[in-house]
Structure 1
Amino acid sequence: MSTIPGILFAKASQNPDALAIEDGSWRLNYGELADLVKRTAGVLKAMGLGHSDRFGIWAPNCAEWIVVCLAGQALGAVMVTLNTRYKGGEVAEILARSQCKLLFTVDGFLGNNFPGMLDGHNLPHLQETIVIRGEDEQSAFDQLLARDGNPISKIDAKTSDISDIIFTSGTTGAPKGAMTTHGQNIQVFESFTSAIGMNAQDRYLVVNPFFHSFGYKAGWLSCLIQGAAIFPLATYDPKDVLVRIERDKISVMPGAPTIFQTLLSHPDLDQHDISSLRVATTGATTIPVDLIRRMHEDLGIDDVFSAYGLTESTGVVSLCRKGDDFETIATTCGRPLPGTELQIVNDDGQKLASGEEGEIWVRGFNVMQGYLDDPDATAETITKDGWLKTGDIGIQDEQGYIKITDRKKDMVIVGGFNCYPAEIEKSLLQHEAIVDVAVVGRPDERLGEVTEAHIVSSDDGLDEAAVIAWAREHMANYKVPRSIRFVESLPRNASGKVQKFKL
């Protein structure tokens, strides 16, 4: 077993001339990437970053993200991901709770001044915010490299060290930081990449965001493990993706079902040769069988895999296998990751028979180490004998395939992003005219689900447009309710809990 930077350095030694990253003007082979990571790590060390320190990355998919992450991890520091859709307050909360020492970000992405969004927030542990990409693609990173520092000669991290903390929203409304180690990340994604048949000749267009396990771990980390080429994509546009697949001979491209639906419906699909695309994985929600069929027949993808995971399971719980039929891929999430255990249990934690519905529990090397500084939440989520309670409801058939039937957790998935109503409600209650609120999910043809807020207001003049406009300023866009219902009161039971099924 190794560390995440150790994987890079081993691949650089084995095949230094193989393409590692291509991103605009950036083009690095494995040898060059390894040298750049060592140089960058030397600079970060001189800036005071060391073992067990935490550093945040608030940036879109780009080459610099990968370099900074690997450099910090090579020093034994812990990387904290930050969603590029977050507003300043959301990012400040995570930076404060994780006590990040350094923040690496960008300026001008989607018209946003990311550093400026943190103005006015109290961040006593944050020593410096460093811009790693601005309008001129490489100049900001060149300025970072121009600082003092000697390239490192060894990795100051162990297999058992925490490599990253990814914050996941909870039903209480407070984000929780799931901690995973170098060793378990490598073990999970060695298994994952083997199962989907990735190899060193693959060219992977990483559409999923790096701040999420799907883009970071199932994305560029998987490429390092196999020695494949990484093609980061900062923003999704179906026409651009068709051009990129054809031009760059992309062979692997996981994504949410909506990604493939938009490609299939694009009027220019027939104008592009995308025959190089051979592997795709997609999310755990139920997928139309016809979509899987069209991904094979109309997009020409040889192998399509559906998978299921959560941040607390290092990104993977189960996945389909090569050769599974369309129906199985569309209606199940596959079988448990090899080497891990899965069981379906009732409300008392007792194991149920095949075909019976209950909560999905998983145990093995993919289970996180716990939540950052939250032993109570960790104990509620991981049993004393190591079972991770996923909060998802499902069944497992006699062949071991998993089907998700419901979510025990009060969660809405908007275009692939997890939204917890409690978190949105907590934010909306900061509005001076909102005295009570309940957020629920509603079906949506394009995004799968969207949120709807039921609001009790003290101001008769407050309208839907005003609430939505306020929400856009205070929370990530995917969390913003798509519709608002004003009510005189919310239905509650005898204990005061909102009866959301009545909304």
Structure 2
Amino acid sequence: MDVSSRMPIGDVSHVIGEVDQPLVEKTIPQVLYDTAKRFPNRDAAVFSMQGIRRTYQEFSDDVDRLAAGLITLGFQKNDRIGIWSPNRYEWLLTQFATARIGVILVNINPAYRTHELEYALNKVGCTGLITAPAFKTSDYAGMLVDLAPELKTSEPGELKSQRFPHLSTVICLGDDTPAGMIPFASVTGDPAALPPLDALDRNDPINIQFTSGTTGQPKGATLTHRNIVNNAWFVGDALVLSEQDRLCIPVPFYHCFGMVMGTLGSVLRGTAMIVPGEGFEAAATLKTVSDEKCTALYGVPTMFVNMLEHPNFASFDLSTLRTGIMAGAPCPIEVMRAVQTKMNMTEVTIAYGMTETSPVSFQSNVDDPTEKRVTSVGRIHPHVEVKIVDENGVPVPVGSQGELWTKGYSVMKGYWADDEKTADALDAEGWMHTGDLARMDEEGYVNITGRVKDMIVRGGENIYPREVEEFLYTHPAVSQVQVFGVPDQKFGEISCAWILKKPGATVDEAEIRAFCKEHIAYYKVPAHVRFVDEIPMTVTGKPQKFVMRDTMMEDLGLKELVTA
């Protein structure tokens, strides 16, 4: 590796990743085919909760049968199929089966409620939806019927809904299939009907993931085979993953952490994908690591905290662990050190990125000095270019704070059907303006110091205040609202809402929170709701969220958290 290529250019915060190792110029189906050919009898997928265990050849065969079944149902290249489900084997199959025939997979957050689901499916024109019947407190089938009562009387595959003008086919997991839906198990076909592997182009869009910003509704970040195959490859490279490894994946598949860094990264290396359950549970994850002799583990800091604090932690054998990734939120130094010492993850790494960049741009290596691994997000990935700039887009001196911009293979094609917002994020030279504040040292290690935008990161989940604010404006008692974050020891950050009521309106915190719980994901529901007489504003009429945040922290007796 050319170390100099990962160091700042001169005295300014501008760095280019090494290019000694060429990019992977293959599509997702080609990657799976190659791995199944190399390691046909090695474990590919173990889903502990479902009692499912597949070798790479068995997994590849299952993918082909599902892909052929989707063709039988009429799906074609560039169609969009949404998947609304927790971590299950069917999710993994869908990820690779849609890619096999060039159908674009649309990730639907399992925590979404009706308001968000309707927007997401219609925004990208999904013609199909694969859904679990339910997960935790979410009755997916019930919510679908509430939005599209026509499902009850529709023939499977022939839905005609006023709310969903594009959606015709709903496929349901499980044994008890509601009216109008197609059983997932019946979606199978003859692999001989599949197109040749070279029928797809590595630059074709293959995945849409919803992200947001301070400008309102979620945006569909559109990623190609080339985007995510290469990012998954280089993430695994930093971890020194191989076919000998067994990666425990308790992070959600709907996010890049699960489906790019986790599942796709494993398939590229022939690594076994070990999935403890539908959602994260500390005990189940620890037991799975112990039972399956996992060598690697992914999680956000909150997950690691919950595992370390589990009352039976000492009873689990974690001696096989060596590496993993902690990402998705700032990592407190003491948590990193506990993971290294108490969980045997001496080679754990930190990663930083965003959905729009596939996702990782910076990552520490397994042999980086411990101090660098607990005080930075590592150094730049190969084939990626980054600069930290001032308000004029000029790189700042090494050690100075500025906004992080990134460029290279990993940058998305754009936001689906949204040229204006794409242009806001990507400039004419291809730089992605991340909105994150950062500092770079003289060796190229980067610290993320804050955000230009006011996104809140709650336990690895991104909360975008403008989106929540716009939803709260639909409540009849709300005149003005501002949402912002404050520090929290457990989640890193939690959200607060300051609300100015309409004249004569009567409403309390419980009613606002109940209103939110009914329509938006649980993690977006404000932890604190305060009714105020005025919203602090600048002389130009812009809300002063820093004033609200400082006031709230003082009232709650909070202090800033010390993080890496």
Using structure 2 for the length normalisation, give the TM-score. 0.86
Q: Distance in 2 between matches of 1:341 and 1:150?
A: 42
Partner Cα distance (1:286, 1:164) in 2: 27
For residues 261 and 497 of structure 1, the distance between their equivalents in structure 2, rounded to whole angstroms, comes to: 38
Report the alpha carbon displacement of residue 148 of structure 1 after superposing the two structures with TM: 8.6
Distance of 1:120 and 1:492 partners within structure 2: 39
After superposition, residues 84-483 of structure 1 pair within 5 angstroms as: 84-118=110-144, 119-120=146-147, 122-133=163-174, 140-145=183-188, 151-152=193-194, 154-155=196-197, 156-232=199-275, 233-283=277-327, 285-458=329-502, 459-483=504-528
Q: Aligned equivalents of 1:274 and 1:87: distance in 2?
A: 37
C-alpha distance in 2, partners of 1:497/1:360?
Answer: 24
**Structure 2 residue 545 is matched with structure 1 residue 500:** yes
Deviations 1:335-372 (A, max 9, x none): 11112111110000011111111000111111111111
Distance change (3 Å), C-alpha of 1:320 and 1:284: farther
**Identity among equivalent pairs (%):** 34
> Is the 1:256–1:416 Cα contact (8 Å) retained in structure 2?
yes
* 1:344/1:358 contact within 8 Å kept: yes
Listed as ranges, the gaps of 5+ residues in structure 1 are none
1:488 maps to 533
Amino acid across the alignment from 1:276: T
One-letter amino acid of the structure 2 residue matched with residue 164 of structure 1: N
Cα separation, 2, equivalents of 1:384 and 1:277? 44
Among candidates 33, 37, 42, match of residue 18 of structure 1: 42
* Structure 2 unaligned blocks of 5 or more: 1-24, 149-162, 549-564
> CA distance change for structure 1 residues 285 and 143 in 2, over 3 Å: closer, same or farther?
closer
**Structure 2 partner of 1:61:** 87
Q: What is the rounded CA distance, in whole Å, between the counterparts of 1:424 and 1:111 in structure 2?
A: 20
Do the aligned partners of 1:289 and 1:326 also contact (CA within 8 Å) in 2? no
RMSD of aligned alpha carbons: 1.7
Distance 1:69 1:229 in 2: 16
Count matched residues: 500
Cα offset for 1:259?
A: 1.1
Moved more, 431-440 or 323-332: 323-332
Q: 1:502 to 1:302 in 2, by over 3 A?
A: closer
1:267-319 CA-partner distances (Å, limit 9, x unpaired): 21111111111112112644232222211111111311011010011110100
How far apart in 2 are the matches of 1:313 and 1:133?
Answer: 34
Shift of 1:188: 1.5
Pick aligned residue for 2:107 from 70, 81, 86? 81
Which letter does structure 2 place at the counterpart of 1:117?
Answer: M
Over residues 148-189 of structure 1, what are the superposed CA-to-partner deviations in whole Å (9 max), with x where a residue is unaligned? 986525234211111101110121111111111101211122
Q: Which has the higher contact order (CA 8 A, sep 6+)?
A: 2
CA contact (8 A) 2:496 2:527 kept: yes
SS in 1 for 2:77: coil
Matched to 1:47, the amino acid is: L
1:423 & 1:338 partners in 2: Cα distance? 34
**Bigger mean CA offset, 329-338 vs 154-163:** 154-163
SS at match of 1:169: strand
Contact 1:115 1:129 in 2 (8 A): no
- TM-score, normalisation: structure 1: 0.96
Q: Which of the numbers 5, 13, 34 marks the counterpart of 2:60?
A: 34
Residue 299 of structure 2 aligns to a residue whose secondary structure is coil
Contact 1:49 1:72 (8 Å CA) reproduced = no
